[in-house]
Amino acid sequence: MNSTEKHNWRGYLFILPLMLILGVFVIYSFILLVQGSFFKTDLLFNRSKFVGLQYYKIALQDPYFFKAIINTLVFAASSVFFGISLGFIFSVFLAFSIKGGNFFRTLFFVPTLLPNALIAAIFGGMLRYRFGALNDFLAVLRITPVHWLSDPAMAYISVLTISLFMIGIPMMYYQAELATLDKGMFESAQIDGAGFWRITTQIIFPTVIHSHKTIVMTLMLTTFRAFERVYLLTAGGPARSTEITGTYIYTFFAEGGGRNIGYVNAISTLTLILAFVMSGIILSAFNPKVVKAKRSNK
Amino acid sequence: MSLKKLWIVLLITVVAPFALFAAGGQEAAEEGGDVVISYHCWYPPEEILAPMIAEFEKLNPGIKVEVTKTEPDTHQQKVPVVLASKQKLDTMAVMNTDFVMQVEPYMADLEPLYSNAYGSDWEGKFQPSILTYSRGRTSGDLKMLPEGMNGSPVIYFNVEIFNELGLSIPETETDLMKTIATIKSKRPDLVPLAFRGKLPWLHTISAFGLYAQEEELWSFVRDDGKPYNSPEIVKMAQWWQSLYEKDIFAMDTLDIDNNSIGELFYGGNAAMMVHGAWMAGLLSEPYREKKNIGFEIGAFPYPAIKAGNTPTTAATPDMFFSVVNYSDHQEEAFKLMDFFIQGEGINLLAENFLIVPGKTDFVPNPELLTTDLARNSYKSIIDVLSNPQSALRQQDFLTTPFGKVLQNIALGGDVKESLDDFQKEIESGKFE
């Protein structure tokens, strides 16, 4: 055995505890989840009856599950959009030594440190139609109050907009990568006549591709787990208008008191598969070979 | 790091959690010679439950109670798992839902326990309807019993605002509509009638529960299996929609939940509040003082939909208890259950008006209801609870999904189309 092989072998030993935990709590749970989706059973796994793919068929034909998936993807897309647009722009500005830079950094980052449930509770109070802070403010300006949470369309926009306050995480990634960039590159660009906008969009933006990848992946998957935010803000309503996969699964499980675990397992499995597929798409889109090929085609 | 050290680190990583888990498991057994019984519940609030448990332990030296109180959803999900895995559990609060079906195999027969405690005429201690109802919920044997009756919705009102605007208790739905119109015109700063419209299940409870004065329809769909798009349900849903069209309820109530309704009403920003009978403590002056509510509160049931109807609500026996059949301490567990149902526990709970007790010898504490309005309001609540016309239970299956349909109808959605879609959803098999 040469030294490299020995080194690799010890490496496996180091990751063994994590792999054990992962094996027990993730892989085993996943197997149990998939297995359970083929059975009609309750929370106690009593009276199990094999039903094959029946629950998958029901789920795929269920317009409300479909709507929950679409909503999840739309909310994820908005989250990504805010993250890589505003998050990037603010990071670039903060990369300059502006007065109060640390204050703004903290201001943008603090919401990401708060529990989602707290954010939802704060916004829930602010957006209430009667005696909500935002409508009270609009009243001062003599603007008609808005049904932020009780009108389905406005509730949708409210849930979308709340992700704006989560740009602290993308900003953190961008700032970390911006700090590593070679300043000489910008000086050369300036000498060649490039202005601020051109440097930002054509040099910095393509250069921080690793941050883009991490941010898109993180924000996309975070939306799949944005349960508390949506549940506490709108409970998926009114009238299912803001239902995401997390609230759909939870409410189905809770309202049935664990009555039909097979269906819950099937919709959870489909959601997981969707999350895997989305991750795969993002990873392949940011694959260095693909990116390089795209650039050379241009 | 040497290989030996690495193995030690790995061993500690793997073994330590098991060792800690095992050490924790030892605690639950016995405590200084006392029998420790394990009790799982979701209700009542901690500030009421803790003194009740302390009183029980005082009255029963030698028995200690280990309480696990969780949120209702958690209770519903956790207890069946605890029972199936035969973990320590001696007595439990039972949700009157499909939960009964799940936990019935683990419930002890209560008749021998009651016979031992009170003799052969023990049944006289309960209202007959409660015994009949409880036996009907399990397969014939008596395996669970409730503390009493509860129900929702009833309407609480701010007496100061009613006096200021010269309003009286509405007798019919039309009166209620006029009352709301008066409040809106004279005090536009107020929410006339606060309703927790954000909670889908409450739409179902309220629609079926109140419409029962016209026709009882919940057993029609739940027990008789009639479709949700039947003409009868369509008529009920149209009535529900009309409440929003007539501004009895309003679109802005669709963002009100459990917390915000309290802020609105207790803060004096809502003239009326739709809530459950378990809030009847608001009628009591000492209770209001404790909660820092500075105005008098009265209550009335939702009025007659049309003149001649009898007001009603969705009311059923509530807060069931059972003894676990594999418990090693069934006698002690029964003592705790009986304390909650027939003993001092139910008296303590009744002082908080959380339930109308089901024991036959219950007398309300006259010191708590000090005015005629308070006494009459409480009587009106007891009257509707004693004569429930709806078969609906608060935690019945499908109350939430159907409530989402009613939310859509409240927002002006097409009634027939919404009900057709829900029926299709039912027929898809996903709820079976």
Task: Give dist(CA A271, CA A266) in Å, integer.
Answer: 9
User: Which tokens go with B25?
Assistant: 């498991």
Sign of the C-alpha dihedral computed for residues A35, A39, A43 and A46 taken in this order: negative
Residue type, B10: L
Section A42-51 average pLDDT? 77
Chain A, residues 90-149, CB within 8 A of chain B, namely: 124-125, 127-131, 147-149
- Domain residue limits, chain B: 35-149+318-370, 152-314+389-427
CB-CB neighbors (< 8 A) of A255 in chain B: 201, 397-401
Residue B18: predicted pLDDT: 45
Q: Is A164 helix (H, G, I), strand (E, B) or coil?
A: helix
Task: Give dist(CA B106, CA B309) in Å, integer.
Answer: 43
pLDDT band at A52 (very low <50, low <70, confident <90, very high): very high
User: Measured between CB atoms, does B192 come within 8 Å of chain A?
Assistant: no
Q: Least CB-CB distance to B73: which of A40, A239, A254? A: A254
Q: Angle at Cα B343 formed by Cα B339 and Cα B346, nearest 5°?
A: 85
CATH number of the B152-314+389-427 domain: 3.40.190.10
Residue B32: predicted pLDDT: 62
Fold observed for domain B35-149+318-370: D-Maltodextrin-Binding Protein; domain 2 (3.40.190)
Section A292-297 average pLDDT? 66
Contact between A237 and B81 using a beta-carbon 8 Å cutoff: no
Residue B26: predicted pLDDT: 39
pLDDT at A51 > cutoff 80? yes
> Is residue B428 within 8 Å of residue A58, measured between CB atoms?
yes
User: Measured between CB atoms, does B204 come within 8 Å of chain A?
Assistant: no
Contact between A150 and B428 using a beta-carbon 8 Å cutoff: no
A147–chain B nearest CA distance, Å: 7
User: Which tokens go with B427?
Assistant: 């027929």
In degrees rounded to 5, what are phi and psi of residue A227? -55, -55
Residue B91: predicted pLDDT: 96
- Mean pLDDT score of chain A: 87
Low-confidence ranges of chain B (pLDDT < 50): 1, 3, 14-15, 17-29
Which residues, including other chains, have CB under 8 Å from residue A79's CB and lie 6 or more apart? Answer: A163, A166, A219, A220, A222, A223
CB-CB neighbors (< 8 A) of B398 in chain A: 255
CB-CB neighbors (< 8 A) of A256 in chain B: 98, 397, 431
User: Measured between CB atoms, does B8 come within 8 Å of chain A?
Assistant: no
B353–chain A nearest CA distance, Å: 27
Residue B22: predicted pLDDT: 41
Q: What is the ipTM of this complex?
A: 0.84
B4–chain A nearest CA distance, Å: 12
CA nearest to B250 within chain A: A150
A256–chain B nearest CA distance, Å: 6
pLDDT at A60 > cutoff 50? yes
pLDDT at A6 > cutoff 80? no
Tokens 């448990």 sit at which residue? B53
| pLDDT tens figures, B12-24 | 554 454 444 444 4
Q: Least CB-CB distance to B408: which of A61, A239, A256? A: A239
Contact between A58 and B430 using a beta-carbon 8 Å cutoff: yes
Top-confidence residue, A11 or B62: B62
Contact between A43 and B253 using a beta-carbon 8 Å cutoff: no
Q: Roughly what angle, to the nearest 10 degrees, separates helices B46-59 and B344-351?
A: 150
Chain B, residues 365-424, CB within 8 A of chain A, namely: 395, 397-401, 404-405, 407-408, 411, 413, 421
Of A196, A280, A124, nearest to B256 by C-alpha is: A124
Task: Give dist(CA B279, CA B189) in Å, integer.
Answer: 25
pLDDT band at A44 (very low <50, low <70, confident <90, very high): low
CB-CB neighbors (< 8 A) of B3 in chain A: 10
Contact between B10 and A16 using a beta-carbon 8 Å cutoff: yes
Residue B274: predicted pLDDT: 96
Long-range contacts at A44-53 (CB < 8 A, ≥ 24 apart): A44/A258, A44/B80, A44/B81, A44/B83, A44/B84, A44/B102, A45/A261, A45/B84, A46/B84, A46/B102, A51/A262
Section A10-36 average pLDDT? 88
What b/e string do you get for A97-136 counting C-beta neighbours within 10 Å, with b at 16 or more? Answer: eeeeeeeebeebeebbeeebeebbebbbebbbbbbbebbe
Residue A2: predicted pLDDT: 56
A239–chain B nearest CA distance, Å: 5
Of B159, B178, B228, nearest to B403 by C-alpha is: B228
User: Measured between CB atoms, does A53 come within 8 Å of chain B?
Assistant: no
Residue B240: predicted pLDDT: 97
Residue B300: predicted pLDDT: 96
CB-CB neighbors (< 8 A) of B397 in chain A: 255-257, 259
Strands B297-301 and B154-158: antiparallel
Interface probe, candidates B77, B193, B428, B430, chain A, greatest A C-beta count within 10 A: B430
Q: Least CB-CB distance to B98: which of A58, A131, A257? A: A257
Q: Least CB-CB distance to A147: which of B73, B99, B252? A: B252
Chain A, residues 24-43, CB within 8 A of chain B, namely: 40, 42-43
Task: Give dist(CA A170, CA A86) in Å, integer.
Answer: 9
| pLDDT tens figures, A120-164 | 889 999 999 999 999 999 999 999 999 999 999 999 999 998 888
Residue B9: predicted pLDDT: 52
Residue A294: predicted pLDDT: 65
Interface probe, candidates A7, A60, A130, chain B, greatest B C-beta count within 10 A: A130
